[in-house]
Amino acid sequence: MIKVLERVSLSLFQFIESTFNQIFGERWNPWYQLGALSFYFFWIVVVSGLYLFIFFDTSINGAYESMEAVTHNQWFAGGIMRSLHRYASDAMAITVTLHLLREFSLGRFRGARWFSWFSGVPLLWLLFAAAIGGYWLVWDQLAQYISEATTEWFGWLPFIGDSLARNFVSNDTLSDRFFSLLVFMHIAIPLFLLVGMFIHIKRVKLAKTNPPKGLARGTLAALILLALIKPAVSMNKADMSISVTTIDLDWFYMNVYPLFDSWGYGAVWVLLVGLSAILALIPWLSPDKKKALRAAEVNPDNCNGCSWCYQDCPFEAITMIDHEYKKGQMQAQVDPDLCTACGICAGSCPSATPFRHVEELISGIEIPDFSIEHLRKETHKKLETLTGNQRLVVFGCDHALDIKTLADSQTAVISLPCTGLLPPSFADYISRQPEVDGVLVSGCCSENCYFRKGTEWTEQRFNRERMPHLRTKAGIQKVKLLWAGPREQEQLHTALTQYRAELAFHKAEETEGAGFD
């Protein structure tokens, strides 16, 4: 069942993302920045909340009046800040939920990625608690309804009882001290949320916590425009002697509240706790039944301690330690519990070059089930089948567009766990083979690498911006990069046709030059 939901949701996300790519481009596609946007909205909430707190009266009688004054007496600043506080909170709920669903569709909860998934579940409770607590502080009729419903819901639990609900029996039972406690909680819970967010990304190196500037500015402008068109305002002041019958719920955070009356408090607890438990246990409820690649392994004989693999690992699975037997030298060490077997480390190893004059190619670090020697043998085997006068080798990624559809008599295709596994020297080496006219390297689109940094590091290596890089001019001329997502088959076929035309043009130039000589 989980696998079916995963496939269906992945197909839906891929369709939506492909559509947004055509509108915004890959760089500004918000679907690739959901995690970063969540951080961004959090900071908007923090900044706007601090502004509001300056003018906020923390007493039970002054809270409502102070918020009304901020909203209406300085609409140009305080009113906009209040609306930003409200709408950025709602936006964060949306991006966090979509981020969870998207990571689920991509299967990014299995194996070494279980920690990020598992640690994200309690953040949902903190996010909703922080938002709902904020509505209490306005102390209007919506706050009255929320406070009564929430305390009765918690009061259903036997170890809490109705002690909380008794605070909201009448206006006389409410005190400024209790209200100050609510203010403190509304500050403390977001702080815990922030700490939890950084724990959530602890195992992810260079995690995206800031969206691209253009997307950030456009998003902020949209929120400000929404604040001007539909400013956030209060309902009438809370009065515990009057029953609240009509309210405007914030459906992003209060979607379960209508269930209190129809289902009962106990059923809602079962729903939310049960759903949270299922989410937390999904990595173990749906393990990967396919044979997973083994974690990267270090070969001390070929590790020179350069630390390139340590710098490039997207999941902090590699550390540098003293070499086993070479005095004064370092070597890499892999934590198999953190390794995703992407192979990006193998692509960064200087000893992975096939130009080495050795009988068996063994690099300093590599994926045992997909070694550089295995890649060399598989590639040469496919080169033997090429015919024609425009013979190409296409390297792709298992998680991007299926490049098998490109295979024909003139095109050999090799799919890798991640394009980042391919050392630039290997592409250079293949491009120099007499039976090869060109090499095309493809993979996930630049902002949507399945292993986060594979596409980015590969592009920097081939553009000579990151070590190891293409060292020869000939290699740069004969190797082409093209990123293509799962639904960009037409673009890849078009690019391949153009590349063949370029190769034919260069070959004709070389032939004319040779004839002139």
Question: What would the pLDDT profile of 263-311 be if each residue is shown by its tens digit?
Answer: 999 999 999 999 999 999 999 998 876 667 899 999 999 999 999 999 9
pLDDT tens profile 196-242:
999 999 889 888 899 999 999 999 999 999 999 999 999 999 888 88
List Cβ neighbours of 136 (8 Å cut-off, separation of 6 or more): 143, 146, 147, 182, 186
pLDDT attached to residue 165: 60
Q: What is the pTM of this model?
A: 0.91
List Cβ neighbours of 441 (8 Å cut-off, separation of 6 or more): 394, 395, 419, 422, 427, 458, 462, 479, 480, 481, 482
Domain ranges of the chain: 2-18+25-243+252-285, 297-516
Residue 389 tokens read as 């006068």
How many residues are there in the chain? Answer: 517
pLDDT attached to residue 513: 59
List Cα–Cα distances, 422 to 226, 399, 460, in angstroms.
47, 15, 13
CA distance 227 to 87: 8
pLDDT tens profile 430-480:
998 988 989 999 998 878 899 999 999 999 999 889 999 877 655 556 888
CATH label, 2-18+25-243+252-285, candidates 1.20.810.10, 3.20.20.140, 1.20.1250.20, 3.40.50.2300: 1.20.810.10
Asked if residues 265 and 164 have their Cβ atoms less than 8 Å apart, the reply is no
- How many other C-beta atoms lie within 10 A of the C-beta of residue 434? 7
3-state secondary structure 269-283: HHHHHHHHHHHHHHH
Q: Residue 422: which of 384, 479, 478 has the closest Cα?
A: 479
pLDDT attached to residue 330: 95
CA distance 147 to 259: 16
Q: Which residues does the chain have with pLDDT short of 50? A: none
List Cβ neighbours of 61 (8 Å cut-off, separation of 6 or more): 176
pLDDT attached to residue 477: 67
Ranges of H-type helices in 204-289: 213-229, 257-262, 265-285
Interior/surface letters 345-365, b for 16+ CB within 10 angstroms, e for the rest: bbbbbbbbbbeeeeeebbbbb
